[in-house]
Structure 1
Amino acid sequence: MRAAQLIGTVCGVGYLRPGPGTWGSAAALPLAWGLHVLGGFPLLALATLAVFFGGLWATKVMTAGQEDHDPSEIVIDEVAGQFIAIWAVSYPAWAHGIEVTALWPGWVAGFVLFRLFDIFKPGPVGWADRRGDALGVMLDDVIAGVFAAIGVLILAGISHGVLGL
């Protein structure tokens, strides 16, 4: 149970108040940066898979026998979703040899969009959340992360294509 708790709460970040989900998302950003610096987009993508499956296991263990299928202290799902949102920054930086911090507006947009999709749970994000199981806990944030990544790409397209910035 101790390992599951460390993973599920991201070493205790999930116990921070207020807004443990926002704290979990914020904790994901320096982790994503470090992974990108160490191994580029491929390492971040592999780490995302590891976080997803590790988070799924930790969530199952932490919620076994509990009525609350998604306690607020479990924030590993936010890390997985935030990593996916940052894919929209990490991949182009890696593919084009750009310093990933030069794309800082994408980091900000990815964080804000992910939090908005995670909080308001539109469409499939809400569907996944309503599953009421560990997979739903992880999937709603994965889907929110995909939506956020798409949003970052759209904003980048507008900024660089339409506005020419």
Structure 2
Amino acid sequence: MTDKASPAPRRPSAAFMLAHPAHCLALGFGAGLAPKAPGTSGTLWAWLAWLVLQNQLSVTAQGVLIAASVLLGWWACTVTAKNLGVSDPGCIVWDEVVAMWLILWLVLPAGFWAQLAAFALFRFFDAVKPGPVAWADQQFKGFGWRGGLGILWDDLVAAFCTLLVIALWRWI
């Protein structure tokens, strides 16, 4: 008997991404299809997209966009993970996108080197998952709304850790 909540694992493709709006969003409009380091590709896409968005939106609108992106991303990550049959697939990069947007929203205006440092710190916390990020990564697992939240949660904690390091760096 097959578990309806978790179909046989699938590999993402452009056709899969375009088959449902949730897939397109969760895969970062294609950034998650990168054959190597999709999380880094998604974070780079987020950085570039934010540089455009910040000039188009007020600071308040940017915050609203991030909050809406978390909620919409929760839905998109939940649907896409279920349809891929993998609880936290690496091709889902919307979690990196939202986390990087949050970091940039709170760090900018900043020069290129400060932005690059924020990018590198976030990638470190997201990939290595030290301390609180590892804890967050274990909190919400599986399929359904809980699993969708889990996909986002550890990246939001990685963003918090990144912002904490930046704040300490600025303070010292």
Q: How far apart, in 2, do the equivalents of 1:2 and 1:65 lie? A: 10
Q: How far apart are residue 88 of structure 1 and its match?
A: 3.2
Q: Distance in 2 between matches of 1:65 and 1:74?
A: 12
For structure 1, the residue ranges without an aligned partner over 5 or more in a row are 91-99, 159-165
Amino acid at match of 1:13: A
- Whether 1:153 aligns to 2:148 is no
Closer, same or farther in 2 for the Cα pair 1:105/1:157, shift >3 Å?
farther
CA contact (8 A) 1:36 1:43 kept: no
Equivalent residue for 2:133?
Answer: 125
- Aligned equivalents of 1:87, 1:157: Cα separation in 2: 19
Q: Which moved more, 1:122-131 or 1:68-77?
A: 122-131
Picking from 77, 81, 92, the partner of 1:59 is 77
C-alpha separation in 1, matches of 2:91 and 2:56: 29
2:86 matched to which residue of 1? 68
Matches of 1:146 and 1:109, distance apart in 2: 14
In the TM superposition, 1:7-156 aligns within 5 A as 7-64=25-82, 68-90=86-108, 100=109, 103-130=111-138, 131-132=140-141, 133-156=147-170
Secondary structure at 2:80 match in 1: helix
Question: Shift of the alpha carbon at 1:65?
Answer: 6.5
Aligned length: 148
TM-score of the pair, normalised by structure 1? 0.81
Q: Provide the rounded CA distance (Å) in 2 between the counterparts of 1:152 and 1:40.
A: 23
Q: Given residue 137 of structure 2, which amino acid in structure 1 is its aligned partner?
A: D
The SS at the match of 2:29 is: coil
- The normalised TM-score by structure 2 is 0.78
Amino acid at match of 1:150: L
Letter in 2 for 1:146: F
Structure 1 residues 30 and 66: CA distance shift in structure 2, 3 A: closer
Distance 2:123 2:129 in 1: 10
Contact 1:10 1:24 in 2 (8 A): yes
User: What per-residue deviation string (whole Å, max 9, x for no partner) do you get for residues 40-89 of structure 1?
Assistant: 43232222112211111011111227652111110000001111221332
| Runs of 5+ consecutive residues of structure 2 not aligned to the other structure | 1-18, 142-146
